Structure 1
Amino acid sequence: MITFIENFEKMRRYFVLLILPMFLTLILNAQTETRVAQTIKGKIINEATNEAVSYTNVGIEDTFYGTASNENGDFQLKIPEEMVSKQIFFSAVGYKNQTLPVSSLFDREFNIIKLEPQTYDIENVDVAAQSKVLTRILRMASENTPYNFVGGPFNLVCRFENGKVIDDSLQVEENAGVLIYDKTGYKLPSKTDAFLMRNYEVKKDKPDYSFSSGITNFDELLELDWVRTANSVLNPSLLSQFDLKLVDEPEVDGAAAWIISFSQANPTPEGAQDFHATSFKGEITIGKEDYSVKKIEGTVKSAKHNRQGKSLAVGSSNSDYYEDVVYDFSVTYTHLKPEIFSLHKKYRFNGQKIEETSRLTITDVQMTGVKEIADRDYFWD
């Protein structure tokens, strides 16, 4: 055993003596090959507005060498000598790519790179091409959510209104103040994250401690926030399921926008966000400048609804559900946050014709002194 160890040690020393010169040569060569010729510094801005373009990809063509601008559009990149003769590219979501000779940026201590906003002449392309363009717009709207909407933690101060008419006679009218707590906000949009990180307190005029009778469409309203949950047409993996069409290119709040219609011939639970939907269509408004969502609206018909949520199936043994459901909904967004959620729903239940109107209005966003809420509780004193 000792002889084996001694021989092994001799072999190891021989291996090190053999490999070490080769390794040092590689290091010296690498150091020689990566000597910095110059450091490029600059700022990337929107050519039309002169506003900073955040998180722009900056790189040397045909290599994996590069960086990205910060949230203020500033960037810095050390250029190795062997890359001086190459091209440098600037690429950002919503803008046309720009490519320049690396050496052309050496003359200035600080470079201003102007990117031209990407525009689409959608009306002058065929149906298949238009669908691809609209799919890309929706994908970019989804990917830009963390930059276009407020991140957590924050509180949303809200006013909730819910009215119910039974057989053409007003039976229930509820008004409540609501405080929503969102730990991560729109920086991590997903259905799971929204469920785990968003809780609320509701102050009702007359507390109702029955789970089933305490249902007021509040959670259903929150689920319509597809920007937060990355659902339906704001889930890139589902876009191939939709028929998309350009409706209009209006100005919204003084800025250009697209209105895109979406529908499913055979609604899916994940597309319609309704397990038993038989008809599903709507429109989404997206700002051209930053791909921010301005409004989502839709109309859905459903054979039946589980009373604990429309995304849940009605089991074969369950006879306690809504029938012949038809509803319209809309969600508007402004100033980095949702503004108004509204839902108008008609259905039949226990032989009665019922019509409900629910509305949630966001009155304030609190980023400081945030109150953390541990769960979802309808009632507190």
Structure 2
Amino acid sequence: MKMKTIFSFIILAHFSLFAFSQQGSKVAHVLKGKVINAESNQPVSYTNIGLEGTLYGTASDEEGNFELKIPEDLESKNIFFSAVGFQNRQFPLTELFGKEFNIVKLRPQSYDVGKIDVAGQNMVLIRILRMASENIRYNYGAGPFNLHCDLSVLQSREDSVLKDVNAKVLVYDKNGYSTPSPENAFRSRKYKVTKPAGKEDYTFSSAQLGIDELLNLDWVRSASGILNPALLNDYTLKLVSQPQIDGKEYWEIGFIQNKPTLEGSGDFYATLLDGSIFINKEDYSVKSIAVKVQSAKNNTQGRGLGISKSNADFYSNLNYVFIVSYENLLVKKIALSKQYIYNNKEVAENSVLTVNRAHANNVTVLNSRNYFAGE
């Protein structure tokens, strides 16, 4: 693997306009095209494209499209295509001349990230995480769709059970993973909760059920946390392993925020965040995310909310772990386990939202978040 070639081409796009202005040569050809994965036919975003022996080049956009103007004095050059996770390609420019639109196919390649030095490895891991985020809309289901889920919440204090809830949750997602952002996830996801037949009516508030909190842990849907490209420099990254799961190869990337931010952790008062993410080497899809968080305190209405100085009703000394798994283009399971102090008592809480069925046909449209509407 020629990592120096890859990194030099990452810089290449920034010099394209500068290099062209320095050439002072007449444009002979305008190349237009699209870079795609040779195995899946999906776009290869932000591919670095350059001419051999020069700083002249460009990069494909988010959809893999590119345009490159070729000066007369560079017509005889070879052209390079380079993207992390794919084999480099090099061939004469003349192969692209005379075509209205070119399709350039890159074959996936498994890099031995573990053999790169620390600085180089960090750059590659950032690139992998960025690709995972950018490919969410291609790797997961677009809306509208319904998720039929089981919810279980068990809360205990010392030897007594405070809460033992089992319910059905119907989730409606108008946009699905085609528009990953916190704002869109909040606006597009609605749900209805019903009690199992024969059970007494529940009296818990929506915050006590914690459904919003569980759904917010779906970082793939919201492109949050480690999947927010703007935050990647805030994490310490490490390649933990490169396992094979169900016949597919993955990167397991560990990430730590020693001084967590609200944007990076989703917790207003987090003091430590330590997690790992499994990313498919072929298409950059996320298989699972596991995160451990320590927090000084939490608002009883949600971990992302602040607490006023006059408010003495809050959780303190929190330790919690959440694990989110994905399967068949959608979230499969969200599990959250908490320990904290409330009213000077130690409380343990375990919540699990499991998706049993999903469908995009005959969708039930929900316009609000309704709790325990009955069956």
Q: Where on the TM-score scale, by shorter chain, does this alignment land: which range?
A: 0.7 to 0.9
Q: How does 1:149-228 map to 2 (within 5 A)?
A: 149-205=140-196, 206-208=200-202, 211=205, 215-228=208-221
**Amino acid paired to 2:237:** L
Match of 2:41 in 1: 52
The structure having more radius of gyration, on CA atoms, is: 1
- Counting aligned pairs with the same residue, the percent is 42
Shift of the 102–304 alpha-carbon distance from structure 1 to 2, 3 Å rule, reads same
Could you state the TM-score of these two structures normalised by the residue count of structure 2?
Answer: 0.79
- Secondary structure of 1:137's match? helix
**Amino acid paired to 1:227:** V
Match of 1:130 in 2: 121
**Amino acid paired to 2:205:** F
Q: Does residue 1:328 correspond to 2:321, yes or no?
A: yes
Structure 1 contact 58–67 (Cα < 8 Å) conserved: no
Shift of the 136–68 alpha-carbon distance from structure 1 to 2, 3 Å rule, reads closer
Match of 1:12 in 2: none
Could you state the TM-score of these two structures normalised by the residue count of structure 1?
Answer: 0.77
Shift of the 157–93 alpha-carbon distance from structure 1 to 2, 3 Å rule, reads farther
How far is 1:92 from its partner? 6.0
Shift of the 92–162 alpha-carbon distance from structure 1 to 2, 3 Å rule, reads same
Structure 1 contact 249–257 (Cα < 8 Å) conserved: yes
Q: Deviations over 1:116-151 (max 9, x none)?
A: 324332222222222111111111111111111111
Match of 2:228 in 1: 235
How far is 1:102 from its partner? 4.1
Structure 1 contact 204–378 (Cα < 8 Å) conserved: no
Match of 1:347 in 2: 340
Q: Does residue 1:257 correspond to 2:250, yes or no?
A: yes
- Secondary structure of 1:377's match? coil
For structure 2, the residue ranges without an aligned partner over 5 or more in a row are: 1-25
Match of 2:372 in 1: 379
> Which piece of structure 1 moves more, 120-129 or 222-231?
120-129
Structure 1 contact 268–275 (Cα < 8 Å) conserved: yes
How far is 1:328 from its partner? 1.0
**Amino acid paired to 2:268:** F
Structure 2 CA distance for aligned equivalents of residues 292 and 112 of structure 1: 23
Shift of the 374–107 alpha-carbon distance from structure 1 to 2, 3 Å rule, reads closer
Structure 2 CA distance for aligned equivalents of residues 66 and 351 of structure 1: 57
- Secondary structure of 2:208's match? coil
How far is 1:81 from its partner? 12
Structure 2 contact 84–127 (Cα < 8 Å) conserved: no
Q: Aligned Cα RMSD in Å?
A: 3.5
How far is 1:362 from its partner? 0.8
For structure 1, the residue ranges without an aligned partner over 5 or more in a row are: 1-32
Match of 2:363 in 1: 370
Match for residue 244 of structure 1 among 217, 237, 247: 237
How far is 1:40 from its partner? 10
Q: Does residue 1:360 correspond to 2:349, yes or no?
A: no
Structure 1 CA distance for aligned equivalents of residues 71 and 347 of structure 2: 75
Structure 1 CA distance for aligned equivalents of residues 89 and 272 of structure 2: 44
How far is 1:299 from its partner? 1.0
